[in-house]
Structure 1
Amino acid sequence: MALLKCDFFSEVLGINTTMTVILPQQTTNQIGVKTAQSTGLHPTLFLLHGLSDDDSIWLRRTSIERYVSELGLAVVMPQVHRSFYTDMEYGQRYWTFISEELPAVARSFFPLSHKREENYVAGLSMGGYGAFKLALRKPEVFAAAASLSGAVDVTTFAERSAEPYHDYSLIFGDRQVAGTEDDLLYLLKKVDQEQLVKPKLFQVCGTDDHLYEDNQRFASLCKASSFDHFYEEDPGRGHTWDYWDERIQDVLKWLPLPRKGNE
């Protein structure tokens, strides 16, 4: 695998920003790591960080580089600060950046596939929200999305002052989020009713996680829908990196990668 840290100027944000990228590498000489020979344009996982993290966190807290080495899968990890992957009321247009500019820039830099069936998105906590929002607002772009302990119901954050979402007013202002395209519960129902193509959804959460009830609520709606949806809750597990390190491996096994049938 090749690991690259990319600094580039974002036209959308009007600032210099970064992304970290893992690319399949044409070599069989990496000691202690099995690699897949991958040619052409690579299937791509956009892997999103949480509220207090950045584009380097998945590499620092998990073994994601080693986990994808046998899959021929590229991984793009962008930096969006504490934006909730949203065009902020008082801040930058991170939704436009993540949904439009980032894929185009990444594909201009690297040999990444543009095919829907070869593009996926996943994330943890705030990134789980971002992953499902991308897949539900862009179902024609992403074949699958995974949320690990995701913040899947942002509509109630302002009412829960004990939870650590201090940037809520900067992101959404004082507007009503429920029933808009920043509301995953609304988006799920909308896509279920209107879209012919739907992304596969993968959702896990620990029962000791402060977002557990939100995840139960989202999973219940999925169960009543026509989505291909996997949900599992893990007793006694919390909002921790040891849990996400385990579960990202399950996500990688679950992804509908085009090469899996040839393994």
Structure 2
Amino acid sequence: MASMNCNYYSFSLKHNVDINIIIPTPEGNEQITSEETQKAYPYEAGLPVLYLLHGAYGDHSSWMRFSNIERYAQKHCVAVVMASADNSFYQDMYCGNKYYTFFTEELPAFVQSIFPVSKRREDTFVAGLSMGGYGAWFLGLSKPEQYAKAASLSGALDLEMAYEQTKGSDDGAPFHWDRIFQDPTAIKGSDADLMTLYDRCEKVGNLPELYFACGTEDFVYDMNTSIRTQLEERGSKAVYVEGPGQHDWYFWEAYIQKVLQWMLPV
């Protein structure tokens, strides 16, 4: 596979950004052979593309440093794009950067203009861990015309619960809620509330496929079971998976493989 780092100026963020891109190539997983190079890679039509989001404290390099995402991208013949979002919950912040605009408009436009990726909704996916798990569903449900599937690993999916648990805390709470949202107490029912977005998509018949997984020993487990209950009440077809695990890379390394198998069966 081809793996590269790009640095360019972002007009929506008003500063230079680093992004990591993985492009699968025709060589085999272990070595180049004449047989393997005959594989058909749809560069002209465009490769499927996964926007892979980091969690709190992370950045564009997190998945590259702590997982084997390069091997999995090669296996599933999918381009993977990773960029930084600070601790913003992927919002256009009330006092801060416009990360939602960057991830849904500027970044896809840049990637599609430079790299051999598809522009079709059915080939475009988003996934993430922790804060990025929320981010994946947030992007997918707020732009359902853009993403076919969205997957969350250990996601902080109930944002109101996350706010209540971390507001006023300096210990392990990196979120400046009053900078992200004009009124953090009004998250429920707002454009940042995943169930509100879900109901809108369902009303117009334009839901992306959803997947979420969480470890049973994870501190966000209750958030995920709360969302599971709300989705079950709606008769949702979202895929929920749980298993032994905590909020760590052992879980995410195992389950990103399940996510890719769900998105792009091989």
TM-score by length of 2: 0.90
**Contact 2:18–2:60, Cα closer than 8 Å, also in 1:** yes
What percent of counterpart residues are identical? Answer: 39
Runs of 4+ in structure 1 off by over 6 angstroms are 32-35
| Equivalent of residue 69 in structure 1, options 56, 59, 74 | 74
Name the structure 2 match of 1:251.
259
| Equivalent of residue 189 in structure 2, options 179, 182, 201 | 179
Name the structure 2 match of 1:95.
100
| Residues 9-39 of structure 1 deviation map (CA, whole Å, 9 limit, x = unaligned) | 1111111011100002233485399896412
2-structure distance, mates of 1:63, 1:29: 12
Name the structure 2 match of 1:167.
176
Name the structure 2 match of 1:11.
11
| Equivalent of residue 61 in structure 2, options 53, 56, 65 | 56
Residue 213 (structure 2) pairs with residue 204 (structure 1): yes
Q: CA 1:37 to 1:242, structure 2 compared with 1: closer, same or farther past 3 Å? A: farther
| Equivalent of residue 204 in structure 2, options 195, 198, 215 | 195
2-structure distance, mates of 1:214, 1:111: 37
**Contact 1:37–1:72, Cα closer than 8 Å, also in 2:** no
**Contact 2:87–2:174, Cα closer than 8 Å, also in 1:** no
Task: Give the aligned residue type for 1:243.
Answer: F
Task: Give the aligned residue type for 1:211.
Answer: V
1-structure distance, mates of 2:132, 2:192: 13
Task: Give the aligned residue type for 2:24.
Answer: P
Three-state SS of the structure 1 residue aligned to 2:105 is helix
Name the structure 1 match of 2:227.
218
1:173 Cα deviation from its structure 2 partner? 3.6
2-structure distance, mates of 1:180, 1:198: 18
2-structure distance, mates of 1:7, 1:86: 22
TM-score by length of 1: 0.91
Residue 48 (structure 2) pairs with residue 38 (structure 1): no
2-structure distance, mates of 1:122, 1:46: 6
2-structure distance, mates of 1:160, 1:54: 23
| Residues 19-70 of structure 1 deviation map (CA, whole Å, 9 limit, x = unaligned) | 1000022334853998964122100011000011011110111101011212
2-structure distance, mates of 1:37, 1:18: 30
Name the structure 1 match of 2:146.
141
1:227 Cα deviation from its structure 2 partner? 3.7
Three-state SS of the structure 1 residue aligned to 2:210 is strand
Residue 131 (structure 2) pairs with residue 126 (structure 1): yes
Task: Give the aligned residue type for 1:151.
Answer: A
What is the total number of aligned residue pairs between the two structures?
Answer: 256
2-structure distance, mates of 1:139, 1:151: 20
Instruction: Say which is worse superposed, 29-38 or 152-161, in terms of deviation.
Output: 29-38
